Amino acid sequence: MKHGQHWFTQVRKTAEALFGRHAFPDGAFDFPAAFELPETIFDPPPPVAPPLQPGARFLNGVYENAAGTRRYKLYIPSTWKGQRLPLVVMLHGCAQDPDDFAAGTQMNAVAEERKCFVLYPAQSPDANNSRCWNWFNALDQRHGQGEPSIIAGMTQRVLDHYPVARNQVYIAGMSAGGAMAIIVGTLYPELFCAVGVHSGLPYAAARDLPSALAAMQRGAFGASQTASAGLPMIVFHGDQDTTVHPANGEELLAQGLRSHPLGGTARPSRLAGRVPDGYAYTRIKHWLHDGSPLAEHWVIHGAGHAWSGGSAAGSYTDGKGPDASREMMRFFSTVRAG
């Protein structure tokens, strides 16, 4: 394969996988006419039914507002007996759905251990035929509009109907879902008190398709100058990720620290480790002077674009890395609003 053709292959594969086959404005990119992609890139994941603990429920729901309609699933752990519990909102990546994401991240099992509700919004193929959250659209980066308003409204519905601990509401996501998680957390800081991003991008990393491709391929340099909500965050990224450049994880942390009023005084600590028979990793924690956590950045050495420590029961997972789901919940448990 010639170098130019390989370049088109990589760009087209990345763009269409994350934005959908029909997300390109006419004339935005002139790819070779003979270029085709394997259809498997766009196939939805096979049906997955995450096992339920006796007494647990995994409910289907639909939410609608002026911006559109989305389905969701809500996990209610068997340990819930009417008491107030934390809520974690989990945004899946491209070509995934709530069942697949729940199976791969094993977040329902974590919910049993940690006693929390888990909300899984589902992207509609009508909104993006690859089921990617549209983080790169300018409309979907505004308060009260687009997909952020749907996700926030869906979250509020759960708060209104279940005894959620209002000071323990968190949002996390993978890839396009991770990019959308930081957008929603930034636009609705009154709802969420911390954000988890796996293989994602910073807030305002892109405003259209060309800038999105540039951020994915090279990193969203300059995004750290844009203010986010400064919420506490935990970030995971594989240093061999060829879909979303690992520099985006660094930009996420820089953006969060810059946006927090005390971020400039945070104290970092570094830990190097290795998963038995798995990947080495570097974890950097940023602490405020009162000992409260502000941010964590996990770099998984050798990992690609996959949920670290996930189960092969779901797509885009790599069990050789540290357990991102449990580490996120550990971090979230240390952060409460107000």
Determine what percent of the chain is predicted with pLDDT higher than 70: 83
Distance separating alpha carbons of residues 157 and 62, to the nearest angstrom: 10
* Cross-strand pairs, 61: 72
- CB-CB contact of 54 with 136 (8 Å): no
Closest CA to 7 of 28, 30, 26: 30
Residue spans of the domains in the chain: they are 3-333
Query: Helical H runs in the chain?
Result: 3-19, 98-105, 107-114, 146-161, 176-187, 209-218, 247-259, 324-333
Give the number of other Cβ atoms within 10 Å of residue 259's Cβ.
Answer: 17
Res 20 pLDDT > 90 = no
Report pLDDT digits (tens) over 170-215: 999 999 999 999 999 999 999 999 999 999 999 999 998 899 999 9
SS3 91: strand
Q: Is there a contact between 47 and 23 (Cβ–Cβ < 8 Å)?
A: no
Cα(65)–Cα(72) distance, integer angstroms? 14
Would you give the DSSP letter of residue 293?
Answer: E
Burial class (CB in 10 A: 0-12, 13-18, 19+), 46: exposed
Question: Where is pLDDT greater, at 164 or 17?
Answer: 164
Q: Six-digit token pair at 99? A: 């069942």
Q: Does the pLDDT at position 324 exceed 50?
A: yes
Mean residue pLDDT of the chain comes to 87
What pLDDT, on the 0 to 100 scale, is given for residue 6?
42
Instruction: Tell me which residue has tokens 């996501």.
Output: 173
Residue 330 makes CB contacts below 8 A (sequence gap 6+) with none
Contact 176, 94 (CB under 8 A): yes
Which one, of 151, 34, 48, lies nearest residue 95 by Cα? 48
Identify the bridge partners of residue 58 per DSSP, sorted by sequence position: 75
State pLDDT tens for residues 75-130: 999 999 999 999 999 999 999 999 999 999 999 999 999 999 999 999 999 999 99
Q: Which residues contact 9 (CB under 8 A, 6 or more apart)?
A: 1, 35
Taking the CA atoms of residue 64, residue 132, residue 187 and residue 25 in that order, the dihedral angle to the nearest 10 degrees is: -100
Q: What is the CATH number of domain 3-333?
A: 3.40.50.1820
3-state secondary structure of 320: coil
Query: Would you say how long the chain is, in residues?
Result: 338
pTM for this prediction: 0.87
For position 17, what pLDDT does the model report?
A: 53
**Residue 7 or 233, more confident:** 233
